[in-house]
Amino acid sequence: MKVLLIAHKNPFPPDDGGKMGIYTMINGLLINKIELDVLIMNPSKVFRPIDKNIVPSEIQKLESQVIDTNIKPHSALLNLFTNQSYFISRFWDKTFEKKLIASLKQTQYDIIQLESIFSAVYLPVIKKYSNAKIILSAHNIEHQIWERVIQHEKNLLKKWYLNLQIKRLKAFEIKLFQEVDGITTVTELDKKNILSFAPNKPIVVTPNGMDMRKFKVAPFEQQDLNTIFFLGSLDWMPNQQGIVWFLDNVWNKVLEKLPDIKLVIAGKNIPEWLLNRKEKNVRYYSNVPDVKELYHSYAIMIVPLLAGSGIRVKIIEGMSFGKCIISTSIGAEGVPYEKNKNIIITDTPEEFAAAIVDCIQHPEKIKQIQQAARQTAEKHYSRESVYLPLVNLYKELLQK
């Protein structure tokens, strides 16, 4: 079985949640003996060279192309006079299209898998040059994320423009669900929602499978219990929104009870306006070279998300490292959690602050949740069995 996987970002290295999802997918397919070619877009805004040291040797062909997805005021304005979603059209690149066509002419693929809807801008080209079955790997339901983001937008002009783009994005996404041959999601909730748009579509749930051998749990006594941390891509609007909400509404309430507690905010591409905020006991680390250092150093991880869809790969990663995670219910969507047993769920500033204080004051609770989190990761996200339903879907589609 010959498969071409098309990714909208470079997963080598897997240094954010979306890249981690692509990276684990690639490894999961290879574990199941799939003959795999990979074609990667490498957006200039977040460009990273391919780290050849972590590229699996089993990949038969790997190609990448730098593309420009930067938001340009002129292009955003002209987009108003089209019926396209600017969220999607930014990912079309003529040079990448030529590489894709060359691959489709050179190799007869059985399956072509689109990692996220952004890769689907090339769907007409794929259908023109290939008879392969097309699978959408839906990391989330993108328009749902933006519908949640827009609820918290106060700039009226920006809100008007985003509302228009979200409507176009939703139309594109629903049409895509109906046009592809099969879909894989990361949660049962996303599967249910997609089926409401595309009834009877073959869909399997494929969570992000982890190689648990690579996730070492730090000894409890070596972890800093007086520092909490956030880890995520801070060029992603929902993460920015969540951190601002936390700093504006939660952090001072925590400091009132625990004046010596510290907060580490770490992640890719932290914007200047966030770095320039002067918050007491807050430290920023942009583009952390090795996230293991964070996971091994601190006991409590926060996920203050107000918008999202799919599953937060960073929560799976945090559970795999055995972290005590405090999250909003939106942040933990799709995770098989037991509230206050393997993760702490809070949705108001008062609840969030109280949960942090309670954990700091009761270290035994941190330890219990950490142990339960690791057990959850081992049970649900071990990569050995996670990808079998997707491989079986490939086989079923090829028999039709």
**pLDDT per residue over 51-67, tens digit each?**
999 999 999 999 999 99
Is 325 in the same domain as 348?
A: yes
Q: Round the average pLDDT of the chain to a whole number and report it.
A: 93
Is 321 a residue whose pLDDT tops 90? Answer: yes
Over the stretch 5-48, which tens digit does the pLDDT of each residue have? 999 999 999 988 889 899 999 999 999 999 999 999 999 988 99
Q: Which residues contact 331 (CB under 8 A, 6 or more apart)?
A: 242, 303, 304, 305, 308, 312, 315
Is 156 a residue whose pLDDT tops 70? Answer: yes
Is 247 in the same domain as 166?
A: no
Is 108 in the same domain as 219?
A: no
Distance CA 226, CA 243 (A): 19
Residue with the larger pLDDT of the pair 148 and 160? 160
Is 225 in the same domain as 166?
A: no
- Per the structure block, which two tokens stand in for 89? 């059209």
Is 167 a residue whose pLDDT tops 80? Answer: yes
Is 72 a residue whose pLDDT tops 90? Answer: no
Q: What is the mean pLDDT of residues 319-337?
A: 93
Answer yes or no: are the C-beta atoms of 29 and 3 closer than 8 Å. yes
pLDDT of residue 311: 60
Is 155 in the same domain as 24?
A: yes
How many domains, in total, are found in the chain? 2
Cβ-based neighbour number of residue 352 at 10 Å: 25
Over the stretch 121-137, which tens digit does the pLDDT of each residue have? 999 999 999 999 999 99
Over the stretch 265-318, which tens digit does the pLDDT of each residue have? 998 889 999 999 989 999 999 878 788 999 999 999 999 999 865 567 889 999
Q: What is the mean pLDDT of residues 168-197?
A: 95
Residue with the larger pLDDT of the pair 321 and 236? 321
Is 108 in the same domain as 170?
A: yes
- Per the structure block, which two tokens stand in for 254? 């925590």
User: Which has the closest alpha carbon to 185: 334, 34, 380?
Assistant: 334
Residue 71 binned pLDDT confidence (cut-offs 50, 70, 90) = confident
pLDDT of residue 309: 56
Beta strand pairing call for 344-345 and 324-327: parallel
* Beta pairing partners, 133: 111
Domain enclosing residue 243, as ranges = 212-380
pLDDT of residue 286: 87
Is 17 in the same domain as 157?
A: yes
Distance CA 9, CA 11 (A): 6
Is 184 in the same domain as 250?
A: no
Is 390 a residue whose pLDDT tops 80? Answer: yes
What CATH number does residue 309 fall under? 3.40.50.2000
Is 186 in the same domain as 200?
A: yes
Is 220 in the same domain as 248?
A: yes
Is 171 in the same domain as 260?
A: no
Q: What global pTM score does this model have?
A: 0.73
Question: Which residue intervals of the chain are DSSP H helices?
Answer: 17-31, 73-78, 86-89, 94-106, 123-129, 142-150, 156-179, 188-197, 237-249, 251-257, 272-275, 291-297, 313-320, 349-361, 363-380, 383-386, 388-399
Give the rounded distance of the alpha carbon of 342 from its chain centre. 21
Is 77 a residue whose pLDDT tops 90? Answer: no
**Cα-Cα end-to-end distance for the chain:** 15
Q: What percent of the chain has pLDDT over 90?
A: 75
Is 7 in the same domain as 119?
A: yes
